[in-house]
Amino acid sequence: MNKTLKAFGLALALSTALAGMAMAQPTEVRIGVALEPPALDPTAGAAEAIDIVVYQNVFEGLTRIDQNGAVQPGLADSWTISDDGLTYTFKLHDGVTFHDGTTFDAEDVKFTFDRILGADSVNAHREFYEPITSITVIDPLTIELKLDRQIGRFLFDLGRGDAVIVAPESADNNANDPIGTGPFAFVQWDKGSRVVLEAYGPYWGEPVHLTKASYVFIGDTATLTNALLAGDIDGTNNFSTDALAVFENNPQFKVLVGTTEGETILSTNNKRPPFDNLKVRQAMAHALDRQAIIDGTTNGYGTPIGAPFAPHNPYYVDLTGTYPYDPEAARALLAEAGYPDGFSATLKLPPVPYARTSGQIIASQFAAVGIKLELINVEWAQWLEDVYANKDFDLSIISHVEPFDIGNYANPDYYFGYDNPEFQALIETLNGTVDETKRKALAVEAQTILAKDAVNGYLFELAQTGVWNAKLTGMWQNSPIEGLVLRDIAWTE
Amino acid sequence: MIAFTLRRFLGFAATLLVAALVIFWLLDLLPGDPAQFILGINATPESVARLRVQMGLDAPAHERFLAWIWGMLQGDFGMSYTQRAPVAELIWARLAVTLPLSIFAMVISIVVGLPLGILAARRRGKLLDTAIMVTAQTGVAIPNFWFGMLLTLLFAVTLRWLPPGGFTPWNEDGGAAFRGLILPSLALALPQASILARVMRTALVDVTGQDYIRTARAKGLTMGEAVWRHGVRNALLPVLTILGLQFAYLVAGTIIVENVFYLPGLGRLIFTAISERDLILVRGATIILIVTVTATMLLTDIAYALVDPRLRERSAP
């Protein structure tokens, strides 16, 4: 008995000591994320969940996007652009290795872009790189890309998850065994449960603070709350605003509220009557009370927008006053358009909470001016097929989460069917312009056209609401690009 | 007995074939394109078309059906569209969670439910009987996801005895894996145990009024001995039926509890696969579930015949 007690006491003391040691220098982080990625290859899928895990952690591109959305050198230390803006020459970093030990050089860059542009490419964003006409390896650490036209945001596009550099030896297996050059190497993926990454010792750049990071997949908000409270996970990058109050006044946690690239819009089928009538779209814009929608949908987190453009972007111009909330004006415009008694339409809602909730609020705001909405809930796959691919819808609600996606409005075949040659010409000029001042003037003009044309109902910019252990630092507050970058995250006392 | 088993087995095979046809056809009718889902809303139509071809989605339905059946007969369930990994491997990994979870829940519900049912029947009309039956009624009524949340709040958030969820693979840390399954199996077992207790009580009460119990009593056995030797065995028949159904329900119906405890089980796999239109994975997993359920039924039938010899004689040719 006595012996057992002693042994027990010893074990207890030992485990306390071990726990104490672990407490002093934690270098591991466990992050809860809502969605599990279907695969881990960011060059063969568009799911944000892929970038959350691997972007800038496992994989890197020639450039990288920082917390403020600016372009920084990545695998390319420096670059020169020819005077005509068509030839980019990149100097690559020396001594970089992939996680499987193979050396990174210009041949890998060539392979990456050949693969994106190849005949059986399944890159979700091939169109960004399609102006590349030739890829030439000058020497193992120099590569030259030639374009057939100027692209103002080419360096940004090179920093996207779609253009991370992969190796010919491992590219085919990246979906389940991703091998990149980043500061963290992939260790294991317990499907349905978590992905584990480990700091890569021979990493070429500044050493990272963490030794290990796990992404734990927890879809349910209540469950995620419990896991945070129980200390089973250390944080999450985007937590439901409904339950944020639990953590706001808890000193063990910090809540980081920042911006995202998600413009939430009331997508409108511009090809289908009565929405092909500008007066009807203006009336709908006047009928929207954005602040009420934000308060009801995201508990006040989110910024009203008057055009499909992110408020934190340097080119942003506030156009929320173009058609202010004014039900009287809405009714008058409907009468002018020939709908004195309003009309009926359907509103197809994908399964994201912001869409389902704001759908109900908009339905009541529209009812006040005589527009009767029938709400139809659809699944994601069904939304993609009905609304997006077949354009079979009147109205829908969706957040467009890609950075700088205003160019979609220049594509007449895009699902909301906006066909304005003047705007298309403007975007082409913008894409081909490199000068910052001129780019800004053009971007402001583009936003103004879209605001005046009321192509869609512009609702709000989604906020990013992270919840983290109070002792963690270095998380990105804003999300200028899809990802959850571990580079600067560290534990402090 | 052999003829009986053989006949049941043929029925089993026929059920599977019909089920395979229905599953294939129904899922083909679902709106939604897996390739579009993978590449998202900014992908070019050309990329989507190339991916469809790569996944073999451009072939006609009957060709895909035959290829699927032929593959499964050889043990090949195909490659998952969205996860790019063999379907069989994905399902197998999930069974390592769902099967132990179902078995634990089953064992807990038998160990708790049956004795309580017997006890209630023996004390029929007394206070204990009422107390057990009220508890059982409550147990049936409480949704198991809610019970799961309550368990987490108490044992994980407040007391910190057990993890709030998640699952450590068996080969990594068996003890942690086991601890991770305790709360979910309790949550799953509560309604099952309640149902079992009620069924056991009713069956035993029915049996106690039978002539053979009176005969046993006349031969000099006490009531307890008579019930134990003759009553319980006869009362087990309806209980076995319920058990068979319950196990099937547990394997297929763990999805809600798997979500509450974020366990990487089969239910969650199927749920995600449906929303991502990973049709080949949905089909494979559904077939496995149907095999499990029908095989359980088959075993229940055989067990039935073992417990009650009259059944097998009646069905003999």
Confidence of residue B297 (pLDDT cuts 50, 70, 90): confident
pLDDT of residue B312: 64
pLDDT category of residue A69 using cuts at 50, 70 and 90: confident
Mutate to test the interface with A, among B46, B54, B55, B84 (most CBs of A within 10 A): B84
A339 vs chain B: nearest CA distance in angstroms?
33
Closest approach of A40 to chain B, Cα-based (Å): 9
CB atoms A125 and B42 under 8 Å: yes
Residue of A nearest to B53 (CA): A120
Distance from CA of B292 to the nearest CA of A (A): 21
pLDDT (mean) for B51-55: 84
Q: Give the H or E element holding residue B279.
A: helix B279-307
- Chain A residues in contact with B98 by the CB 8 A cut-off are none
Relative to beta strand A457-469, strand A253-268 is antiparallel
Q: Which of residues 126-155 of B touch A (CB under 8 A)?
A: 149, 152-153
Residue B31 in contact with partner chain A when CB distance is under 8 A = yes
A2-33 pLDDT, tens digit each: 444 444 444 444 444 444 444 556 899 999 99
Assign B185 a pLDDT band (cuts: 50, 70, 90).
very high
What's the average model confidence in pLDDT over B282-299?
85
pLDDT digits (tens, 9 = 90+) for B122-141: 888 899 999 999 999 999 89
pLDDT tens sequence across B217-230 = 888 888 888 888 88
Q: Show residues of chain B in contact with A227, CB under 8 Å.
A: 164-166, 262
Give yes or no for A39 touching B (CB within 8 A). Answer: yes
The pLDDT of residue A25: 65
Per CB-CB distance under 8 Å, the chain B contacts of A46 are: 38-43
Only one residue has tokens 């199927």, namely: B270
Q: Does B310 touch chain A (CB under 8 A)?
A: no
**pLDDT score recorded for residue A18:** 46
Q: Are A52 and A37 in contact (CB under 8 A)?
A: yes
A445 touches chain B (CB under 8 A): no
What is the interface pTM, i.e. ipTM, of the complex? Answer: 0.74
Burial (0-12, 13-18, 19+ Cβ within 10 Å), B288: buried
- Taking the C-alpha atoms of residue B32 and residue A430, their distance in angstroms, rounded to an integer, is 35
Chain A partners within 8 Å of B163 (Cβ): 230, 232
- Whether A396 contacts A350, CB under 8 Å: yes
Q: Give start and end residues of each alpha helix (H) in A306-392.
A: 327-336, 353-367, 380-383
With beta carbons less than 8 A apart as the criterion, state whether A432 and A149 touch. yes
| DSSP code at position A238 | S
* Per-residue burial over A322-354, b = 16 or more CB atoms within 10 Å of its CB, e = otherwise: bbebbbebbbbbbeebebeebbebebbbbebeb
Which of B44, B85, B165 is closest, CB to CB, to A126?
A: B44
Name which of B50, B149, B264 is nearest A120 (Cβ-Cβ): B50
Q: Nearest CA of chain A to the CA of B13: how many Å? A: 31
**A455 CB near a chain B CB, below 8 Å?**
no
Interface membership of B40 toward A (CB under 8 Å): yes
Residue B12: pLDDT above 90? no
The beta-carbon neighbor of B32 closest among A191, A219, A384 is A384
CA distance A39 to chain B (A): 5
A489, A472 contact by CB (below 8 A): yes
Q: Encoding tokens for residue B150? A: 């309550």
pLDDT-derived band at B236, boundaries 50, 70, 90? confident
- Encoded tokens for B102: 């179902």
Chain B environment of A217 (Cβ under 8 Å): 262
* Interface probe, candidates A33, A226, A481, A482, chain B, greatest B C-beta count within 10 A: A226
Q: How many CB atoms lie within 10 A of CB A117?
A: 15
> Does A341 contact B at CB distance below 8 Å?
no
Q: Give mean pLDDT, residues B69-98.
A: 88
Q: What is the average per-residue pLDDT within A104-127?
A: 92
What is the reported pLDDT for B93? 87
Mean pLDDT of A469-485: 93
Residue in chain B nearest A403 by alpha carbon: B42
Q: Which segment of A116-120, A288-292, A426-430 scores lowest on mean pLDDT?
A: A116-120
Please check whether residue A411 touches B, CB under 8 A: no
Report the C-alpha gap between B173 and B165 in whole angstroms: 15
pLDDT at residue B253, as a whole number: 63
pLDDT-derived band of residue A164, with 50, 70 and 90 as boundaries? very high
* Other beta carbons within 10 Å of B164: 29
Nearest residue on chain B to A217, judged by CA atoms?
A: B262
**pTM confidence score:** 0.82
- What would the pLDDT profile of A299-337 be if each residue is shown by its tens digit? 999 999 999 999 988 899 999 999 999 999 999 999 999
DSSP percent split of chain A into helix, strand, coil, nearest 5: 35, 25, 45
Contact with chain B for residue A193, Cβ under 8 A: yes
Would the CB atoms of A36 and B272 count as touching at under 8 Å?
A: yes
Q: Is A384–B85 a contact, with Cβ atoms under 8 angstroms apart? A: no
For chain B, say whether A219 makes contact (Cβ under 8 Å).
Answer: yes
Residue pair A288/A380 in contact (Cβ under 8 Å)? The answer is no
| H-assigned helices in B86-231 | 87-122, 127-141, 144-151, 174-208, 211-218, 223-226
List the single residue in B31, B157, B269 with the smallest CB-CB distance to A226.
B157
Q: Which of A218, A385, A398 is the closest to B262 by Cβ?
A: A218
- B166 reaches A (C-beta below 8 A): yes
Q: Return residues 43-102 of B near A (CB < 8 Å).
A: 43-44, 46-47, 50-51, 54, 82-85, 90, 93-94, 97
Does A28 contact B at CB distance below 8 Å?
no
Instruction: Kindly report, residue by residue over A266-280, the tens digit of the pLDDT.
Output: 999 999 999 999 999
Contact B33 A381 (CB under 8 A): yes
Q: Is the CB of residue A172 less than 8 Å away from at least one CB of chain B?
A: no
State the pLDDT at residue A5: 44
**CB-CB contact of A161 with A59 (8 Å):** yes
Query: Is residue A196 over pLDDT 90?
Result: yes
